Structure 1
Amino acid sequence: MIITSQLHDIPTPTGLMRTKVYKPEEQGIYPAIIFYSEIFQLTAPIQRTAAIMAGHGFVVLVPEVFHELNPIGTVLGYDDAGKDKGNADKWAKPLEHHDSDTQALVDFVASQSYCSGKMGAMGVCIGGHLAYRAALNENILAASCLYATDIHSDTLPCEKGNDSFTRTKDIKAELQMIWGKQDPHVPDEGRMKIHLNLIASGNSFTWHEFNAQHAFMRDEGDRYDPALALRVYAMAVELFHRSLN
């Protein structure tokens, strides 16, 4: 399926949020996926992932997750400087602002004639957390959360009691939780804490652990596992075709 892409600056309560929208070129009405990036924002690997998902018949929206903390169009490097800036942004932006970003994206999708109105969320690293968080929005029907950081540790700023771990019981969407066993950011005890909480909260979810490191989907760097990445893409595509079509 041939795809096209376009930039949109979407208004939010905390400022304009640049969002790259990928969609099939062929005219039609398609379900939408919000794809939340790592701390580095719209890097080349993130854009390639978005293109892969769009090529399976989805409108894929990739927002700048820290739009209010950087000039529009900021992309951080996969180096120490980029990591330090991205982590500082992560700890500076409250979850409530991510929630209002998600609602702005939901409203944008509702206004587009090529969108069916059915929506999912997907993300990697902090983006996996944000996809999990987006599932609190009643318009999100399914979320694929890849090695989601900071859920178990409650390290992202928010109002008391509004952290994602505590709010798990309020998620109605189907969750697909994907982890690397060798991921130091979410160790065994952290994954177990999340797993037990999902069971106790009665969520609809699937749970997948692989022998892989953090960021094993990123097609740059020595942690990339291309065979596993293909498998995970297929799992995500299956989830969204089933839940959004």
Structure 2
Amino acid sequence: MSDLSDFPITKRWPAQHPDRIQLYSFPTPNGVKVAILLEELGLPYEAHRVTLSDADVKSPEFLSLNPNNKIPAIIDPNGPTGAPLGLFESGAILIYLADKAGRLIGSDAAKRAEVIQWLMFQMGGVGPMFGQLGFFTKFAGSAVEDPLPRERYINEAKRLLAVLDGALEGRDWIAGEYSIADIALAPWLRGLEFYGAQEIVGWSDFPNCVAYVERFLARPAVQIGLNTPPR
């Protein structure tokens, strides 16, 4: 049996199955990425519900695994050297797990580079910009009277959607084959509905993106991962 006692997070969220990958997450666009990938890969894991409250993500136990106090994070009891490995940042976790399984990260070196390219597009563009759009349309930022921040993120979201819509022309998946890039991107596109932002960005003007999200949501592993761990 794997010994995870060196990880303080397991004191607050005990591992019932320490031989499985431990997932600490909440079903946000970033949080569901890892659960979906674990389901797609069929890797055994145990999910722990870590809410977005300071009591959870700023607790000493969680900070011991992720000093950036953001979900998701994982512990792999069987890391590359045989010792347990803790990891945070959703993009890094996706690459690590896909490499571990040898799947969903490109069928050759050129395709791998393309997959990582689109993953970085999500991490550096879609995630931050859509997150700010959500803040200024649904959350506290919606009370800000100055229209400039809201307009900035609306326009940037539209620009990013146009990039994706063009790239998806004639393709089912962003890198040509289903990959971690899709698992990173599609939950954020789906999040526009949660933010109440589909109308203001003209979601219907991006038919390739609309069909892309529908294809993504039709996958059984996605349906499980979207609610793991349950709210």
Task: Please say whether Structure 1 and Structure 2 have the same fold, judged by a TM-score greater than 0.5.
Answer: no
TM-score (normalizing by structure 2): 0.29
Instruction: With the length of structure 1 as denominator, give the TM-score of the two structures.
Output: 0.28
As a proportion of its length, which structure holds more strand? 1
Higher share in helix: 2
**Greater radius of gyration (CA):** 2
